[in-house]
Structure formats: C-alpha cells, structure tokens
Amino acid sequence: MTPSASHQLLLAMHRELNIPTDYAQRTGLPFFDDVGLSELVVAQLDEAGRPLVLTKEAAQALGAMRTAATKEGIALLPFSGFRSYLYQKGLLLGKIHKGISIDEILKVLAAPGYSEHHTGEAVDITTHDCPPAEEIFEKTPAYQWLIARAHDFGFTESFPRGNPHSLVYEPWHWKFKAT
C-alpha cells in the first residue's frame, strides 16, 4: 500500500470513529507508519494462546528480559504486541459499542495511526494474579522489577503518571527503543 493510500484509509477511520480533527496536535503523539509485515515475527503465544507479534529485534529483547526475570522468580506475561491500524480501530469500536464516549476512550486508547503498538516495538505486560491493563500492576513485584531492569534490555515505560499525551498512566505498556 502506498503511504497516501494508507493515509486515506486512516482519515476515513478517524471520520468513522469521530476522532477530533486536532487529535495529533492535542495529544502530541507521533504518527506511526504501520510496520511492514516482513519485519514482524511471532514472539511467543500469550497466556490465552494468541500469537504475540513483535519486530524480530523487540522479540529477542523481550525473550532475554523474560528469561532474566524468570531466573529471579518474576513472571512477565505479555498480552499485547503489534497491532495494525485496523486492529486498533476494532479496539475503539468495542468500547464505542459499550456506549463509552470517544473522549473517554481516547484517554485509554490511542487513535489508529498514533499507537506505539503499530511499530511492533511496544508490548503490554502483566503478571500472575493481576488483571491486564490495570493500574494495579504498579503494585506488583513484576512492575518493580521492570522499573529496575527493563532499561538493561532496551525497554522504557512510555506513559508514566502525568504524561503529556492525555493518556492514562499505563504501567503495563513498555516500548523497545524509546520513541
């Protein structure tokens, strides 16, 4: 797909989802091209048996980080990696169908085109006995381990408390090679 065709698709998605036209300026989030499929690999299967897809480099780094954590008794359980524009749209639609307003949705999900998950280098992580994508993850030993060690493997927390992107605090979201 050419960049302009991809961009047209994205504009149509934004109209359909009623994303404010000043979304990019308002959030300061960068635009991410959908990463080429040839760069992606199945890093592992997640706890639900679904494929976790990342770039090859991010998959290797995640594997090394999980191995190091496991040796210290910490279970890092990834539950979301690469997401296409279309997949991101589906996540937003799911919340729209639950009657949640687009303004509320955009506090917890980036608009298609603006999610770090499009790069194949972002991964959402939970641990045993912790619901995925919940702030309570910050209270777990797994999060404390990530804060101390993730940098050694090239991972950075993207959306700390009070981040400038109008997104909620996401202690579960880590990006390989900070944007």
On whether the CB atoms of residues 85 and 177 are closer than 8 A, the answer is no
Q: Which is nearer to Zn ion, 7 or 108 (CB)?
A: 108
Q: Which is nearer to Zn ion, 19 or 110 (CB)?
A: 110
Q: Which is nearer to Zn ion, 14 or 173 (CB)?
A: 173
On whether the CB atoms of residues 99 and 175 are closer than 8 A, the answer is no
Find the part of the chain contacting Zn ion (CB under 5 A) among 16-24, 86-94, 148-156, 171-179: 171-179
Q: Does 124 bind Zn ion (CB under 5 A)?
A: yes
Q: Which is nearer to Zn ion, 74 or 91 (CB)?
A: 91
Output the smallest distance, CB 2 to Zn ion, in A.
28
> Taking CB under 5 A as the rule, which mask of x and - marks residues 25-64 in contact with Zn ion?
----------------------------------------
Reported residue count of the chain is: 179
On whether the CB atoms of residues 99 and 2 are closer than 8 A, the answer is no
Q: Does 173 bind Zn ion (CB under 5 A)?
A: yes
Output the smallest distance, CB 71 to Zn ion, in A.
25
Q: Does 121 bind Zn ion (CB under 5 A)?
A: no
b vs e for 116-125, b when ≥16 Cβ sit within 10 Å of the residue's Cβ? bbbbbbbbbb
Q: At what angle do helices 85-97 and 3-17 cross, to 10 degrees?
A: 0
Output the smallest distance, CB 79 to Zn ion, in A.
9
Q: What's the rounded Cα separation, in Å, for the pair 139 and 142?
A: 8
Find the part of the chain contacting Zn ion (CB under 5 A) among 18-26, 89-97, 146-154, 166-174: 166-174
Q: What's the rounded Cα separation, in Å, for the pair 174 and 172?
A: 7
Residue 156, beta-bridge partner list: 175
Residues contributing to the site for Zn ion (CB under 5 A) = 124, 173
